[in-house]
Structure 1
Amino acid sequence: MSKTAVLICPGRGTYNKSELGVLGRSFPNSALLSEFDARRAGLGQETLTALDSAQRYSVAKHTRGDNASALIYAATYGDFLSIDAREIDIVAVTGNSMGWYSALACGGALSAQDGFDVVNTMGRLMQESLIGGQLVYPHLAENWTPDPERRAALLALVDEINDRAGHVLTLSIDLGGMLVLAGDEAGLSAFEAAVPVQDNFPMRLSNHAAFHSRLQDPVAAEGRALLAAERFRQPATPLIDGRGAIWWPGACDLQALWSYTLDHQVVETYDFTRAIEVAAREFAPDYFIVAGPGTTLGGAVAQSLILADWRGMNDKTAFQTLQSASPFLVSMGRDDQRHLVAHPG
């Protein structure tokens, strides 16, 4: 009997040094990868094959929005194609930030090629503009214990800084136990000066613009001008967006889906935590499958489930106990977990 699963598509920051070569190692459809390469070559961009097969990883090159976005999309879509459909029934698809574009393709609302064009276009526009930046800061207590008071105090600080003249700072992504903030240099610097250093946090994200904030209004407008609504179609699988709203097959207003994707999703807060809560409560899957590249999104998924009090999990220890007894969170970027859901061989 097949297992049910929610597929989770990662966003920026997941193709790192250890992921170099991942397309060569695991992308299952060479003809499709060649199509992606041809699309980039036609735009004068370096091909994914060339980027992925480079002798060494370059932060300056591989984290650029016009390169990273397409690499991540291809790795994610390749993992989607690698899932064993005989054993795994994907009942819903969601994603984090840029992962929404990948989710649209994995869920059937965009073809693989149109999904690539959306990702590649938006990644290029973001890189060309590179408006503002992002930083990350944690809000959970030790052992991933929820601390709503701490979270509320941090968000109040964000609002206070945003109200200062000449400062912009907003919540970009609600990412499990992390707050991803977007702003201009004044806003980001003010937050960094106001909070205690905790391990490596606050952490600036290299080559990241102020995603999911009103600073991206010009980028969103360009995206809508370049990417027609006619590319979108009824999904084959329910899609959970960055508000926790579900787009059901056969019942989608495609103009609204296009508008959400290239307007609200670009310029308003992306609530990944809420998307995972909805995935758990509405679909109750056997597995939460985190597609590659990388494995960094797994922690945010686990933290989101803790915050949702899913299956009574209230901290990291409780999560680890359940996960050890019967794995339900599967990261395809991990060799020890990939085999649970991927085609054999």
Structure 2
Amino acid sequence: MNAPKKTAVVICPGRGTYNKAELGYLGRNFPDTRLLEAFDAHRTEAGQETLSELDGADRFSLAKHTRGDNASGLIFAATLGDFKSIDRAAIEIVAVTGNSMGWYSALACAGATTSEDGFNIANTMGTLMQDALIGGQLVYPFFGEDWTPDCARRDALLDMAAEIDSRANCTLLPSIHLGGMLVLAGNEAGLKAFEKAAEPIDGRFPMRLGNHAAFHTPMQAPVAEKGRALLSADLFRQPDLPLIDGRGAIWWPHATDTETLRNYTLGYQVMETYDFTRAVAVAAREFAPDLFIVTGPGTTLGGAVAQSLILADWRGMDGKETFKAMQSEAPLLIAMGMADQRTLVS
């Protein structure tokens, strides 16, 4: 008798996840040669280096591989390839969500776009972001090393950011709620003011994110406008799977207004705070999956997922030790970017 399927929410990573260790990820893992060729043809037609060339390079280039016009396509393809590699005979995918740029990947994984249309959206928006490169981003933690929630500290940091934003010539806004991390975005004056005011942590934080613009803030209005001009409504369709967005709202199969989905994707989602923490909490509470599967590339999003579950008090999880205990007893979080975990679901 076959074992019952495990249920899973799939989580798609965003920018900053294709790094030196991921070079060759598509060559190692992408399961559909013809689809990768279609992605390459799209980029050749746009006058861009192909994904196969970027992924097959002899060495990783921070300047080249992390640019928005290159990173977005690489990350989208790696995510979609991993999604297609999940063993559907053993795992029932009950919902899909993503972090930041991972929203574009989630659209395709959930069937709200075709694979090629999803790639067009991700590649176009990544290119527009890179061409404009408005503002920047930094990250700063409010969790301690034991991952005990400290919401008072988070609120104090948000108050600090709001005070800086109120100053003349300064812009600083919450960009992403990322588990135990705050991602802030703004102009150079706002970012520098926060870096000066915030207590340094471990010689790492506050940490600027290279080649990142002020994503998910009104500063991206020109990018959103250009995206709407280039990406038509017929790229979007009814999702096959429930899709959880950066507000925690669920887009249901057979009940989604595709024009509204396009407006969210190329409007609100670009210019307003992305609440990944809430998206994970909604995924846990609404779908109660056996597994949270984080696709590749990279392995950095797993911590934010675990921290988001802690903030949601999921199954009594209250810190790093309880998470590790639950994970060792029966894996709850699977990162496909880790070879030993990938085999558990593919």
For residues 91-123 of structure 1, give each alpha carbon's deviation from its aligned partner in whole angstroms, at most 9, with x where no partner exists. 000000000000000000000000000000000
* Structure 1 position 336, deviation (Å): 1.3
Deviation at 1:38?
0.4
2:148 aligns with one of 137, 141, 145: 145
Query: 1:142, CA displacement in angstroms?
Result: 3.5
Residue number in structure 2 paired with 1:306: 310
Paired AA for residue 170 in structure 1? L
Q: Residue 105 of structure 1 corresponds to which residue in structure 2?
A: 108
Matches within 5 A, 1:161-180: 161-180=164-183
Aligned counterparts, 1:69-84, within 5 A: 69-84=72-87
What is the distance in 1 between the residues matched to 2:16 and 2:340?
22
The residue number in structure 1 matching 2:262 is 258
Instruction: Select which of 82, 87, 90 maps to 2:90.
Output: 87
**Residue 51 of structure 1 corresponds to which residue in structure 2?**
54
Do structure 1's residue 284 and structure 2's residue 288 form an aligned pair? Answer: yes
Cα distance, 1:141 vs. partner? Answer: 2.7
1:224-252: CA deviation from partner (whole Å, max 9, x where unpaired): 00000111000000000000000000000
Distance in 2 of aligned mates of 1:286 and 1:257: 28
Amino acid at match of 2:123: N
> Does residue 1:296 correspond to 2:296, yes or no?
no
**Deviations, residues 136-157 of structure 1 (Å, cap 9, x unaligned):** 0001134000011111100000
Give the C-alpha shift of residue 53 in structure 1.
Answer: 0.5
Is the partner of 1:144 in helix, strand or coil? coil
Q: Deviations over 1:261-304 (max 9, x none)?
A: 00000000000000000000000000000000010000000000
Cα distance in structure 1, aligned partners of 2:248 and 2:233: 22
**Which residue does 1:135 correspond to in 2?**
138
Is residue 20 of structure 2 the alignment partner of residue 17 of structure 1?
yes
Paired residue type of 1:293:
P
Distance, in Å, in 1 between the alignment partners of 2:117 and 2:190 is: 36
1:205 paired with 2:222, answer no
Q: 2:120 aligns with which of 102, 113, 117?
A: 117
Task: Give, in whole Å, the separation in 1 of the partners of 2:6 and 2:211.
Answer: 38
- TM-score, structure 1 length as denominator? 0.99
TM-score by length of 2: 0.98
> Following the alignment from structure 2 to structure 1, what is the Cα–Cα distance between the partners of residues 183 and 145?
19
Partner in structure 2 of residue 185 of structure 1: 188
Match of 1:220 in 2: 224
Deviations 1:315-337 (A, max 9, x none): 00110000000001000001111
1:185-243 Cα offsets, whole Å, 9 max, x none, are 00000000001110211000000000000000000000000000111000000000000
2:40 to 37, 40, 47: 37
Which 4+ stretches in 1 moved above 6 angstroms? none
Q: Deviations along 1:34-63, whole A, 9 cap, x unmatched? A: 000000001110000000000000000000
DSSP-derived class of the 1:182 partner: strand
Amino acid at match of 1:134: Q
Q: 2:244 aligns with which of 206, 223, 240?
A: 240
- In 2, distance between residues paired with 1:287 and 1:151? 28
Partners of 1:82 and 1:166 lie apart in 2 by 48
Instruction: Return the letter of the residue paired with 1:275.
Output: A
Q: What count of residue pairs does the alignment treat as equivalent? A: 342
- The residue aligned with 1:320 is 324
Identity of aligned residues (%): 68
> What is the SS of the residue equivalent to 1:143?
coil
Equivalent residue letter for 1:265: Q
